[in-house]
Amino acid sequence: MSRTFRSSTSWRQVLALGGATAVGALALLQTAAVAAPLPVTAPTIPGAPGLFGPVVDGGKASETMATLKTKPDVAPTGAGVTISGTGLPVSKDVRLVWMTANVRYILDPKPDSLDYIGRKVDKIAVALANAKTDASGAFSVTFKVPKDFGGLHDIYAVVDGVQVAKGGFLLERTVRISPTRGPIGTPITVTVVGMGSPTYESVGSVLYDNRYAGAVSANTTRGFAVFKLRAAGGVGSHWIEYAGSSHTVPYLNMQQSPVPWTDSHRMKFTVTKDAGSPAASLEWPAAVQPTINERTTLLSANLAAASTASVQLDSTAGPILTKVNVTASGLTPNAPVALQWTSVVGNRVNCTGTCWNFVNQPLGEGRAGADGTLKSAIKIPDGLGGWHVVQVVQNGQVKAQIPYFVKRSFVSIPKVVKAGEPFFVELKGVGWTQIDNTVAVTYDNSYIGYACGFNSNGYVRIQLFATGEPGTHLIDLYPLLYTQQPAYPYSQLGMVPLLGFANDAPGLAAGYELPAYRLAIQVVK
Amino acid sequence: MKRLMLVIGLAVAACVTVVPSLAQAADLPKKFDVLLYVDTVNGSRPVGAKPRPIGCTQTNTFTRGEQQVFRIWGTVAGTGDILSTENVKYAYVTVPGSPNLKLNWGAHGAASNRVWFWTAAWILPADYALGDVTAKIVFKTEEGTFGTYDYAFTVVPALKTASVKAASLKKASPKLASRG
């Protein structure tokens, strides 16, 4: 037997209850098991290549290392290559190993936040090919350049566990756009193959007509990046530059750096006409299976000991105000039940000490049936986005709980704005962690700043000014990694538009589905 | 010059006693007989590669066809004596895939500021393997003690790069010069 819950609660009640529960929740935090920062296994990204071969022992360097000939030794993925060696031990099996890396993001999942720490690069040797030396100690073998990170790769000929000879290969970076012409707002897909794994080869900076649009990475996709820009500007030629970078912005004299192969790729796009504003849309990241279980506001410490209750939701992600059906079982029969929402309140601005607190929000109350079950419907609160928890409470104890992800949603943007006049873009469901508390804003593919949703409880109202010639102008909002408050040393990709958010982003491993907003206005005189 | 050599010697001692202790602690002997300082510069006589705008600058990144010059300063640990032809039996550099490069003791620099050190130069072959390379520097003293050092450098391909036309550079030159 089940009972229906009341789910209406005034905001005054919410605040009062939130304040009352904050202290208790904070106390619980101190005893909760908190994971340390850790490199997280990347989720499987559809279309991204996996490791092309088995990881093997790369062998031990010999005192007298010979060199291998590799032809060609600079080529893109898929090219045919011949590698040969002479003067090696005769009639021996040779394993050719390709030196590369696995790259993982480092996250610090905590009940009250998810911090982005950076990357971890683990160098590995991968079996590339096998050969056998002839009676003169020579061998030759051909292979196709694997789908792997770009840049320099050492190749070793390993005989009986010893690196007897060394070769090298530069996997070239290629960048292409499609289409190459179209009206304002045309989605331009940029495909990059051969991003590198070392720090100074792992970030791409995008310029559109010499204006900074954002950064791209391919850490968990073995150097493959696919992302979208939109055609902006007047009718005529526009230049998209995919520049080398170390952290966020272009490294403009990369030719003088030790990694000159990451230098800019420049592509022309022709805007054919202004066909008016494209419809507002959200572009979502790849649907992936998260690889870590930690969720913000999910605490095991406040669960009732020996509770065997369980709770299910008929959806685990959605925007604010989504109606969600709740089913619970194993509750104390015929006893009152409260459903509550866990969240936080605070901000990161000038943060020293405790800057936000846990809060609970009632979602409804009722009574369990005689069989200890209940069925109810709740409405996801209009508040912070990201991971929250629905808790089932009886007699002051949490009997069961289940995470729910609040997706970002779009509220409004005006269609027409006079040049020089202000206008507002409104969003809801923006979160509070370093993964999801902020959106980065571009105007005609030029990064102009960011907007945060933490202090405003998920509601973001961005004031912009209409500039440029009369006609269509594009506003794009991208996910951003908030690398401040706290700031960690040497983290890349922070505080700028994460253009490659759809396929390579730290939050994907933790279940953060963060979209880009594709918006536009008409500027008039 | 003696003062300079003393300074170099101290720098050498600091370098080789500190750096290896961080990077190769597991392989270190307990005592050094010979202390070495090693670097490389781009030589001014490349074969098959464009000369760099400035020659003889320190670098550990080379393209095929460039001239790589190893430079070594050393001292005998027990006495502090500078390694020279007076106390070194032989010295060479081993680069994978290449015959050993004999190190020569000589004076370098302008006549008014000559500095003595060991050098060995070679041209990276046009088909030399790309990537990270470890060169081994070996010294044997007349007393029979050894000093070795593993020096890493990187071979990168020469890539086509965008260039500014010479004409625009010429126009800019007088302005740049007048700033001085």
Three-state helix/strand/coil letters over A369-409: CCCCCEEEEEECCCCCCEEEEEEEEECCEEEEEEEEEECCE
Q: Which of B24, B54, B58, B156 to mutate to test the interface with A (most CBs of A within 10 A)?
A: B156
Contact yes or no for A67 and B97 at CB 8 A: yes
CB contact under 8 A, A67 and B96: yes
Q: pLDDT confidence of B28, banded at 50, 70, 90?
A: low
Q: Is pLDDT at A15 greater than 90 in this prediction? A: no
Q: Give the CATH number of the domain where residue A19 resides.
A: 2.60.40.1930
C-alpha pair distances (Å), B92 with each of A6, A159, B76, B84, B100 = 86, 27, 17, 13, 6
**B157 CB within 8 Å of a chain A CB:** yes
Rounded CA separation A389/B25 (Å): 50
Least confident of A195-204, A255-264, B16-25, B40-49: B16-25
- For residue A31, is pLDDT > 80? no
**Chain mean pLDDT for chain A:** 92
> Which chain B residues in 21-60 lie under 8 Å from chain A, judged by CB atoms?
none
Structural domain total, chain A: 2
B109 Cα to chain A: minimum distance (Å): 26
- E strand or H helix at B139: strand B131-141
Asked whether the predicted pLDDT for residue A16 surpasses 90, the reply is: no
**Chain A residues closer than 8 Å to B98 by CB:** 67
Q: How far is CA B154 from CA A27, A340, B125, in A?
A: 54, 60, 14
Is the separation of the CB atoms in A44 and A289 below 8 Å? yes
> Tens digit of pLDDT for each residue in A385-439?
999 999 999 999 999 999 999 999 999 999 999 999 999 999 999 999 999 999 9
Residue B180 banded pLDDT, cuts 50, 70, 90:
very low
Pairing assessment for the beta strands A336-346 and A356-367 based on DSSP bridges = antiparallel
pTM of the model: 0.86
For residue A21, the surrounding DSSP H or E stretch is: helix A11-31
pLDDT (0 to 100) of residue B20: 39
Rounded to the nearest 5°, which phi and psi values hold at B3?
-65, -45
> What pLDDT digit, counting tens, does each position of A198-241 carry?
999 999 999 999 999 999 999 999 999 999 999 999 999 999 99
If asked whether residues A16 and A71 sit together in one domain, one would say no
- Cross-chain residue pair A170–B156, CB shorter than 8 Å: yes
pLDDT tens digits, one per residue of B91-126: 999 999 999 999 999 999 888 999 999 999 999 999
Tell me the β-bridge partners of B104.
Answer: B119
- The residue of chain B with its CA nearest to that of A155 is B131
Which of A132-141, B47-56, B63-72 is the least confident region?
Answer: B47-56
Handedness of CA B119, B124, B128, B129 (dihedral sign): positive
Chain B residue with CA closest to A169: the answer is: B130
Which of A462, A467, A434 is closest to A450 using CA atoms?
A462
Q: Comparing A258-272, B31-45, B161-175, which segment has the lowest mean pLDDT?
A: B161-175
Evaluate if residue A70 carries a pLDDT over 60: yes
Question: Tokens in use for A198?
Answer: 């070392």
pLDDT at A256 over 80: yes
B152 shares contact with chain A (CB less than 8 Å)? no
In this predicted structure, what is the pLDDT of residue B10? Answer: 36
Locate A409 and state its tokens. Answer: 């949603």
Nearest CB to A154: which of B97, B132, B159?
B132
Question: Which residue, of A141, A156, A171, is where some domain finishes?
Answer: A171
Q: What is the mean pLDDT of chain B?
A: 80
The rounded distance, in Å, linking the Cα atoms of A280 and A520 is: 7
A344 in any annotated domain? yes
Residue B31 pLDDT more than 90? no
% of chain A with per-residue pLDDT over 90: 88
The contacts of residue A427 (CB under 8 Å, 6+ apart) are: A408, A409, A410, A411, A439, A451, A453, A459, A460, A462, A477, A517
pLDDT at residue A490, rounded to an integer: 80
- pLDDT band for position A83 (cuts 50, 70, 90): very high
CA pseudo-torsion sign A216, A221, A223, A225: negative
Which pLDDT value is given to residue A35? 56
A251 part of a folded domain: no
CA distance B142 to chain A (A): 24
A124, A144, A171: which is the final residue of a domain?
A171
pLDDT at A352: 81
ipTM above 0.90, yes or no: no
Nearest CB to B130; choose among A66, A170, A258? A170
The string of pLDDT tens digits covering residues A328-357 is 999 999 999 999 999 999 999 988 888 999
Instruction: State how far the Cα of A425 lies from the Cα of A449, in Å rounded to an integer.
Output: 13
Q: Do B161 and A65 touch (CB under 8 A)?
A: no
Domain containing residue B116:
2-179
Q: Where does the pLDDT of residue B165 fall: very low under 50, low under 70, confident under 90, or very high at 90 and above?
A: very low
CATH number at residue B144: 2.60.40.1930
Judged by a CB distance cut-off of 8 A, whether residue B130 touches chain A is yes
Query: Are residues A49 and A167 part of one domain?
Result: yes
> Which among A170, A176, A194 has a CA at the least distance from the CA of A74?
A170
pLDDT band at A305; cut points 50, 70, 90: confident
Contact A193, A174 (CB under 8 A): yes
- % chain A with pLDDT above 70: 93
Check whether residue A142 and residue A54 sit in a common domain.
yes
pLDDT of B164 over the 70 cut: no
Which three-class secondary structure string do you get for A146-178? CCCCEEEEEEEEEECCEEEEEEEEEECCEEEEE
Predicted pLDDT of residue B167: 42
Q: Say if A437 falls within a structural domain.
A: no
Mean pLDDT for A173-183 is 98
Q: Kindly determine whether residue A153 and residue B127, on different chains, have CB atoms separated by under 8 Å.
A: no
CA dist list (Å): B127 to A76, A83, B131, B157, B163: 19, 12, 12, 10, 25
Classify residue A461: in a domain, yes or no: no
**Claim to verify: residue A86 and residue A27 sit in the same structural domain:** no
Which pLDDT tens digit goes with each residue over A118-127? 999 999 999 9
A137 assigned to some structural domain: yes
A51 and A27, same structural domain?
Answer: no
Indicate whether A318 belongs to any domain. yes
- Domain carrying residue A387: 11-31+297-406
Boundary (domain end) residue, out of A386, A406, A426: A406
Name the domain count of chain B.
1
Q: Is residue A519 part of a domain?
A: no
Within 10 angstroms of residue A359's Cβ, the number of other Cβ atoms is: 24
Tokens 């060394």 correspond to: A166
Question: What is the predicted pLDDT for the residue at A267?
Answer: 97
Contacts of A518 (CB under 8 A, 6+ apart): A187, A230, A278, A280, A281, A282, A283, A474, A476
Of A68, A258, A264, the CB nearest to B156: A258
A102: in domain = yes
Question: What is the arithmetic mean of pLDDT over A313-320?
Answer: 97
Predicted pLDDT of residue A299: 85
Report the distance separating Cα A358 and Cα A349, nearest Å.
17
Q: Kindly tell me if the per-residue pLDDT of B23 is higher than 90.
A: no
Residue A10, pLDDT > 70, answer: no
**A352 and A310 share one domain:** yes
Q: What is the pLDDT of residue B30?
A: 61
> What number of other Cβ atoms are within 10 A of residue B90's Cβ?
12
Phi then psi for A510, rounded to 5 degrees?
A: -105, 10
- pLDDT one-digit tens code per residue, A189-205: 999 999 999 999 999 99
Q: What is the CATH number of the domain that holds A116?
A: 2.60.40.10
CB contact under 8 A, B97 and A73: no
Q: What is the pLDDT of residue A2?
A: 37
Residue B161 pLDDT: 52
